[in-house]
Chain A
Amino acid sequence: MAATFFGEVVKAPCRAGTEDEEEEEEEEEEEGRRETPEDREVRQQLARKREVRLLRRQTKTSLEVALLEKYPCSKFIIAIGNNAVAFLSSFVMNSGVWEEVGCAKLWNEWCRTTDTTHLSSTEAFCVFYHLKSNPSVFLCQCSCYVAEDQQYQWLEKVFGSCPRKNMQITILTCRHVTDYKTSESTGSLPSPFLKALKTQNFKDSACCPLLEQPNIVHDLPAAVLSYCQVWKIPAILYLCYTDVMKLDLITVEAFKPILSTRSLKGLVKNIPQSTEILKKLMTTNEIQSNIYT
């Protein structure tokens, strides 16, 4: 009991521990918190809706085991985001014959469609390929957003619960330059620019400076890197900071230094032709907007 300035007496909360009355209150609260069957039903429905499914290419049936447990892998290149996907499409995928092995279908609030069972091919996609001439080289084009609760599922379905350590992972993605932590003003940064972040077991050198402290990365690239660090898999993330988040020629070309690294060695043949393909990709994807001139 405490007296306030105005003379009223107020019951002060007791720090000594729970009294008898409070135990009863707690029990009541717990009852309220206890799930009803309806709650459980809703929760399960939501979990089913947000499930990440990995489908085989031809049969469109789910893969029973993780992708990289089913197929041996020596190199895995993952492109996350539309600029990284455009880079791999123009420079790597047209320099060899790549065969689709499967795709990941998932739904979250970022998807523009409400139908979770029939995601068409024009929706944001996540497709896995391997090189026909060297089937242990894998490539993933991921242009959909993988939500936080789905990232672990994605990792499990792709890498499995006990991944091999003799593969090398390369991840490419983009972030807006305002995410780059620096004391300079974002206007003075030479965007787009490339930064790298690697796991402890990645022994090669990066083709660009490493991301300085505080080196924070987000979303699926961060999940993959964390997974690789925990399982001691050599992995490197090439992060392009840009001021244009939509598909943009100069941003995609900022990834070019990676073409000379060991990760992509032997996978890139015709660079001038690739640049032409990239330009075509840009013009076909331009959405007409009159807001900015």
Chain B
Amino acid sequence: MASRYDRAITVFSPDGHLFQVEYAQEAVKKGSTAVGIRGTNIVVLGVEKKSVAKLQDERTVRKICALDDHVCMAFAGLTADARVVINRARVECQSHKLTVEDPVTVEYITRFIATLKQKYTQSNGRRPFGISALIVGFDDDGISRLYQTDPSGTYHAWKANAIGRNAKTVREFLEKNYTEDAIASDSEAIKLAIKALLEVVQSGGKNIELAIIRRNQPLKMFSAKEVELYVTEIEKEKEEAEKKKSKKSV
């Protein structure tokens, strides 16, 4: 039974499971949804904003953080674990820049974070990090990148992905709607991210936070107003599409 093999992180079960790592993945599912989309000239990160207590300062509850000028990440899972990983990644970005005189590539920093996570699945006395991260950015060669890491320390490149609560629903939406047309322009990519989140976010646009990076430009966080503008545009497009449909059927 699972209970005999899940006390220590360093113990495999007879059928090859590392239960602590799998349980860490359950912790990720408790975080709110985050979605990442890789467009041709833009990368978009959208997250479901957690409802903040009345007396809490909203700015301290951030799911999207810059790791360097050209790389940023969104996470889902344990807040404290994310803070530690982000701090280590930020230090690594600057250390790399000072040593090699080049900014990190997105793949390099993703590999760094993934290696850090893997280390914690192989030492005793420590538990895995309970976060998954979506890391986006542009490399020097001008190509957009999106990577996803998970508590086991694996990382993969994606065209579009979602993590956290209801990630499966969002991923299915993206599989159906991610087309070359959908990411052709910057605004289309942004709208796709918002549409994907609206599938699972309750009470619409005011609970969505969005960030983009354009080639050779720093991270831009959208204000609530800007998100609302896009949401209204999406709703208008939906209405027009439905009107067309009903016209056709008549």
Chain A interface residues (CB < 8 Å from chain B):
178, 185-187, 190-191, 243-244, 249-250, 279, 282-283, 286, 288, 290-293
Bound-state CA distance A286–B32 (Å) is: 13
Contact A244 B53 (CB under 8 A): no
Given contacts A250-B166, A279-B202, contact A291 B26 (CB under 8 A): no
Bound-state CA distance A167–B141 (Å) is: 71
Could you pull out 24 A-B pairs where Cβ atoms are within 8 angstroms? Answer: A178-B2, A178-B26, A187-B22, A187-B25, A190-B168, A191-B168, A243-B26, A244-B29, A250-B169, A250-B200, A279-B203, A282-B202, A283-B202, A290-B61, A292-B27, A292-B30, A292-B32, A292-B77, A292-B78, A293-B32, A293-B50, A293-B61, A293-B63, A293-B77
Contact B82 A293 (CB under 8 A): yes
Interface residues of B in 15-45 (CB under 8 A from A): 22, 25-27, 29-32
Which 4 pairs of residues, A with B, have the shortest CB-CB distance? Answer: A292-B30, A293-B79, A292-B31, A288-B53
Is B76 part of the binding interface, using a Cβ–Cβ cutoff of 8 Å?
yes
Bound-state CA distance A251–B16 (Å) is: 30
> Which B-chain residue is minimally distant from A177 (CB atoms)?
B26
Bound-state CA distance A279–B202 (Å) is: 8
> Which A-chain residue is minimally distant from B27 (CB atoms)?
A292
- Across chains A and B, the number of contacting residue pairs, with CB separation under 8 Å, is 49
Bound-state CA distance A24–B32 (Å) is: 67
User: B151-173 CB contact bits vs A (8 Å, 1 = yes)?
Assistant: 00000000000000110110000
Give the Cβ gap from B151 to chain A, nearest Cβ, in Å. 11
Chain B interface residues (CB < 8 Å from chain A):
2, 22, 25-27, 29-32, 50-51, 53, 61, 63, 75-80, 82, 165-166, 168-169, 200, 202-203
* Contact pick for A293, options B76, B169, B202, CB 8 Å: B76
Supply 13 further A-B pairs (C-beta < 8 A) apart from A288-B51, A293-B32: A178-B26, A185-B22, A186-B22, A187-B22, A244-B30, A244-B165, A250-B166, A279-B202, A279-B203, A283-B51, A283-B203, A291-B78, A292-B78
* Contact pick for B202, options A185, A191, A249, A288, CB 8 Å: A249
| Residues of the B chain whose Cβ atoms lie less than 8 Å from the Cβ of A185 | 22
| Residues of the B chain whose Cβ atoms lie less than 8 Å from the Cβ of A244 | 29-30, 165
Contact A243 B29 (CB under 8 A): yes
* Contact pick for B31, options A190, A279, A293, CB 8 Å: A293
Give the Cβ gap from A230 to chain B, nearest Cβ, in Å. 28
| Residues of the B chain whose Cβ atoms lie less than 8 Å from the Cβ of A187 | 22, 25
Bound-state CA distance A185–B77 (Å) is: 19
| Residues of the A chain whose Cβ atoms lie less than 8 Å from the Cβ of B22 | 185-187
Bound-state CA distance A279–B166 (Å) is: 16
Bound-state CA distance A293–B26 (Å) is: 13
| Residues of the B chain whose Cβ atoms lie less than 8 Å from the Cβ of A291 | 78-80
Bound-state CA distance A244–B202 (Å) is: 16
* Contact pick for A290, options B26, B30, B79, CB 8 Å: B79
Give the Cβ gap from B221 to chain A, nearest Cβ, in Å. 16
> Which A-chain residue is minimally distant from B23 (CB atoms)?
A178
